[in-house]
Amino acid sequence: MNTTTLTSSPAATELRAPPGWRTWCTAWRGAWQADWRERRRDWRVWLVIAAGLMMAICAALQSSLELNATLAARAEARQSEQQRWSHQGKKYPHAAAHYGVYVFKPLSALAALDPGIERYVGSSVWLEAHKQNEPIYRQADDEPGAYRQMRLTPAFVLQVIAPMAMIFLGFGMFAGERERGTLGSLRINAAPMGAIALARCAVLLCLAAALALPACIAVCALEWSPEAQAPFGDGAVRAAVFAGGYLMYLCTWAALIAAASAWAPSLRASLAMLIGLWAATALVLPRAALEMAQEAAPLPSLQQFRAGLDAALGEPDDPQLAERDRQQLLRQYGVTDVKDLPVNWAGISLRRGERHGDRIFDEHYGRLFDAMRRQGDAAALAGWLSPTVALAGLSSASAGSDMDHHIQFVNGAERQRRTIQEVMNAAITANPERNGIRYDGDQALWNQVPPFRFTFAPLDPAALALRHGLPLAALFLGSLLLCRAGLRQLRRGNLR
């Protein structure tokens, strides 16, 4: 495929002269034109690109349609829940607190490209008095096991399928010329090996970029849809990080392919080496990272967690402290009975109970979320060995579909629950019973609760770079060094 590369390069007249910048650029342009021309004429290239493009189109279309339907359904449910809460009629405010309301997790357009863990965690939380409920309605519960394990998404296409396509198109980059015995012509022409490798890698990147086009079109369409409401304040930064991460990932694979082809003694050895590397880094290590994370920070089962939480909630608050607070309140208003207070002691007691429960919730859920974060840190360590693991973490973090963003939503939902309880208990406290008749709230009180409008926190550049960006950059640099070493051996003629 590449036997005609640089046969007319101006470098052929400068066999021993060190290549200058102009010579290097001319060699790169010649190598690009020759490689691109040969690939355009090869039906196998079009077959690989067509197969990959069909998968990319199917993945982008399916993910975008599913996300658009999900956004529309959640918007309708959110509006219905708000109306149900506002029109619940007159009732005691604490009864309204138990009446409760659902809140729904927002999604971004980037989540269509990389759903991350969205299908495996709940999408809605039921907010009610005295209880912090877990998110419910996981989409994976309604899917067969095989579909959950290998689901076609744009992220899967770019992380797994695109490197495979690049391997099939580029494994003979230098190994093919060595096997055909035409490698010596490159050294005779004195063409810079770096320019040739860069040109051929650039062609590979252009071919792989075709697989990213359907995903880009899907995101643009979602951004213009009426249901799209970005839950970020830094959407442009996230999109740039997302695109930059995938570009570095594909560049890493291009350099690895060039390095393997330069070191391998034959086409068969080059292909076997690259397929083994792809299987280890794109299939085996991601799964091993999950297993390692579970061993590093095991999580309790839902039944165990709920049993421990209920046991802690069952322990009463300090009765002596409650009595001291009651006596202090009586002295403050100069009365001897709580019935004579200008405020409602029931509301104050409810506030005390909520604060007691909040402390327990913060303690138990805090330990659970810390264990989840430790699992994420342990899994991210595999990113130093696999660019796929590093990219997956970077991609899901940018799209807001990783565990850290899910924890943000759970905490945001809990803050909304506590806001509801505070508004209801404040209304009870401000309206003591008169002649044995309790105060009933109405729509004016229900509307004092602000609607749930959740926005994710901006990305932390330092944490993101340390956790995912640095391993990906290190592997990219390592692939470049490996490629440079292989090209140096080719230039010296040590590899035959």
Mind listing the pLDDT tens digit for each residue in 298-340? 998 888 999 998 888 876 666 777 777 778 777 877 777 777 7
Mind listing the pLDDT tens digit for each residue in 35-58? 888 888 888 888 989 999 999 999
Query: Which of 2-11, 150-159, 291-300 shows the lowest per-residue confidence on average (mean pLDDT)?
Result: 2-11
pLDDT at position 143 over 50: yes
pLDDT value at position 185? Answer: 66
pLDDT value at position 238? Answer: 92
Helix (H) / strand (E) element for 131: namely strand 131-132
DSSP state letter for 481: H
Span 442-457, mean pLDDT? 92
pLDDT at position 150 over 90: no
pTM of the entire predicted model: 0.88
Span 165-190, mean pLDDT? 78
pLDDT value at position 420? Answer: 95
Query: Which of 112-126, 322-336, 438-452 shows the lowest per-residue confidence on average (mean pLDDT)?
Result: 322-336
Query: Which of 1-5, 117-121, 225-229, 486-490 shows the lowest per-residue confidence on average (mean pLDDT)?
Result: 1-5
pLDDT value at position 316? Answer: 64
**With bands split at pLDDT 50, 70 and 90, how would you rate the model's confidence at 10?**
very low
**With bands split at pLDDT 50, 70 and 90, how would you rate the model's confidence at 9?**
very low
Burial 115-149 (b: 16+ CB within 10 A, else e): bbebbebbbbbbbbbbebbebeeebeeeeeeeeee
Who wins on pLDDT, 338 or 425?
425
* CA pair distance 12, 171, nearest whole angstrom: 26
314 CB burial (10 A radius; 0-12, 13-18, 19+): exposed
pLDDT value at position 341? Answer: 76
pLDDT value at position 190? Answer: 60
Span 473-483, mean pLDDT? 95
Mind listing the pLDDT tens digit for each residue in 231-269? 888 888 999 999 999 999 999 999 999 999 999 888 999
In the predicted model, what is the mean pLDDT of the chain?
A: 86
Mind listing the pLDDT tens digit for each residue in 181-224? 766 666 555 667 888 889 889 999 999 988 889 888 888 877 77
pLDDT at position 12 over 80: no
How many CB atoms are located within 10 Å of the residue 92 CB? Answer: 16
Who wins on pLDDT, 319 or 106?
106
Who wins on pLDDT, 487 or 27?
487
pLDDT value at position 378? Answer: 93
Is residue 189 classed as helix, strand or coil in its secondary structure?
A: coil
Order of all β-strands in the sheet with 124-128: 101-104, 124-128, 131-132
Got the DSSP string for 290-338? HHHHHHHSPPPPHHHHHHHHHHHHHSPP-HHHHHHHHHHHHHHHT-SSG
Got the DSSP string for 50-114? HHHHHHHHHHHHHHHHHHHHHHHHHHHHHHHHHHHHHTS-SB-HHHHHHH-EEEE----THHHH-
